[in-house]
Amino acid sequence: MKLKANILVTQPSLPDLNDFIPYLEKIWESKWLTNNGQFHQQLEKELAEYLGVKYISLFANGTLALLTALQTLKISGEVITTPYSFVATTNSLWWNNLKPVFVDIDPDYHNLDPEKISAAITPNTTAIMPVHVYGNPANVERIQEIADIYGLKVIYDAAHAFGVNYKGTSVLNYGDLSILSFHATKVFNTFEGGAIISHDEKTKKRIDFLKNFGFSDEVTVTAPGINSKMNEIQAAFGLLQLKDVKNNIAKRREVAEQYNAGLRNIEGIELFKLYPGTENYNYPYYPIFINESIYGKTRDELYNYLKENGIYGRRYFYPLISNLPIYKGLSSAQINNIPIGNDTANKVICLPIYPDLSIKNVNEIIKLIL
């Protein structure tokens, strides 16, 4: 059975084009295209309210938000991070001339294992950069305890964690800073986009200087900043997207629940588990983990079989960042230092999930996997 149309791992949700025209008209009228325009200011305000955070600074994309977050806190030396992520996490360290130190993940929730952090700390360690992978909160309490003991900063790569809460508050309220991605493939998108969440006005100001070349006023440059500003078209689109985001997450949830029901009892397929204490989960990905000796097919056999049938899942996050030629020479990248990360990366397939994916299609995907 080949499905009629190819189904990709994701598809952005777009509002009605007619609803976007009035925003564009306003931009054309004002001739204000970027640099903290009216829509930019409004989106910062509305997002802070929606997410339940104090300060948010918008960015052109999530990677520039990561780079700038590291500059904001003047991180130096070595940074402890997870290899089980999108490559932008580690690349942001490299671009800041920082040495990534990989620590393994936990087998149940796929995030940095806090119990393995202390052993990786050296006198050069200044920060920890965990990821809330697939929107699942990292062990924020334990990570903060360790950071406090050793005097380290914590910057969360929360690219997947839009709107996710942990024990009654936004997961973005943990750590010193968190970054978000609003890329086309994300739960909330502004075509490309991102943000840094900060907790005090002073830090928000520094972030805003840094993303605008370091300017604090017309003639004062306070730091060697960069240009990572979000423009007015992106911000206007974000305002429109925000109106639909709850509805879109509810539709993602229906897709995930359908997969859960259909795949629950298949031997050799492990389903994604939410970290205890997670609230308002956002269903950004639908990872499954294949145990080939029990399932009877390897992960790649299933991945290719789905592809032959028009289902384009993705192996997020394979290859593991620490196995990429650019990073594999680091001592922390050695496979025996990261057994769980390697095992997870070799087992994972993310199945298609997006708001407009029909339940009929989900059922057809399930049938192919059975």
Q: Of these, 159, 197, 351, 357, which contacts ligand T4K (CB under 6 A)?
A: 159
Give the span between the Cα atoms of 361 and 123, in whole angstroms. 53
Q: Is 157 in the site for ligand T4K (CB under 6 A)?
A: yes
List the x/- string, 161-190, binding to ligand T4K by CB under 6 A: --------------------x-xxx-----
> Mind giving me the DSSP string for 304-367?
HHHHHTTEE-B-TT-S-GGGSTTTTTSGGGSGGG-HHHHHHHHHEEEEP--TT--HHHHHHHHH
Q: Check if the beta carbon of residue 341 is closer than 8 Å to that of residue 289.
A: no
- Sheet containing 177-181, strands listed edge to edge, beginning at the edge strand earlier in sequence: 55-59, 194-198, 177-181, 153-157, 125-129, 78-81, 99-102
SS (H, E, C) 238-249: HHHHHHHHHHHH
Q: C-beta of 242: minimal distance to ligand T4K in Å?
A: 17
- Contacts (CB under 6 A) with ligand T4K, residues 15-74: 61-63
The secondary element (H helix, E strand) that includes residue 369 is helix 359-369
Amino acid (one-letter) located at 137 = P
Q: C-beta of 181: minimal distance to ligand T4K in Å?
A: 3
Q: C-beta of 88: minimal distance to ligand T4K in Å?
A: 4
Q: Of these, 100, 130, 194, 287, which contacts ligand T4K (CB under 6 A)?
A: 194
Cβ proximity to ligand T4K: between 159 and 302 the closer is: 159
Amino acid (one-letter) located at 192 = E
Burial class (CB in 10 A: 0-12, 13-18, 19+), 36: middle
Q: C-beta of 220: minimal distance to ligand T4K in Å?
A: 29
- Contacts (CB under 6 A) with ligand T4K, residues 81-140: 85-86, 88-89, 131
Q: Check if the beta carbon of residue 64 is closer than 8 Å to that of residue 211.
A: yes
Closest-CB residue for ligand T4K?
Answer: 62
Exposure string (b/e) for 289-304, b if CB count within 10 Å is 16 or more?
bbeeeebeeebeebbe
For ligand T4K, which stretch binds (CB under 6 A), given 32-40, 232-240, 286-294, 309-317? 309-317
Q: C-beta of 246: minimal distance to ligand T4K in Å?
A: 21
- The count of residues in the chain is 370
- Contacts (CB under 6 A) with ligand T4K, residues 263-292: none
Q: C-beta of 85: minimal distance to ligand T4K in Å?
A: 5
Q: Of these, 8, 48, 239, 242, which contacts ligand T4K (CB under 6 A)?
A: 8
Q: Is 75 in the site for ligand T4K (CB under 6 A)?
A: no
Q: Is 12 in the site for ligand T4K (CB under 6 A)?
A: yes
CB-CB neighbours of 215 under 10 Å: 17
Residues binding ligand T4K: what is the number (CB under 6 A)?
Answer: 24
For ligand T4K, which stretch binds (CB under 6 A), given 24-32, 67-75, 152-160, 335-343? 152-160
For ligand T4K, which stretch binds (CB under 6 A), given 75-83, 114-122, 156-164, 296-304? 156-164
Q: Is 323 in the site for ligand T4K (CB under 6 A)?
A: no
At residue 145, the 3 state secondary structure works out as helix
Cβ proximity to ligand T4K: between 39 and 156 the closer is: 156
Place of tokens 């993303």: 211
CB-CB neighbours of 243 under 10 Å: 11
- Chain residues that interact with ligand T4K, rule: CB under 6 A: 8-12, 61-63, 85-86, 88-89, 131, 157, 159-160, 181, 183-185, 194, 312, 314, 316
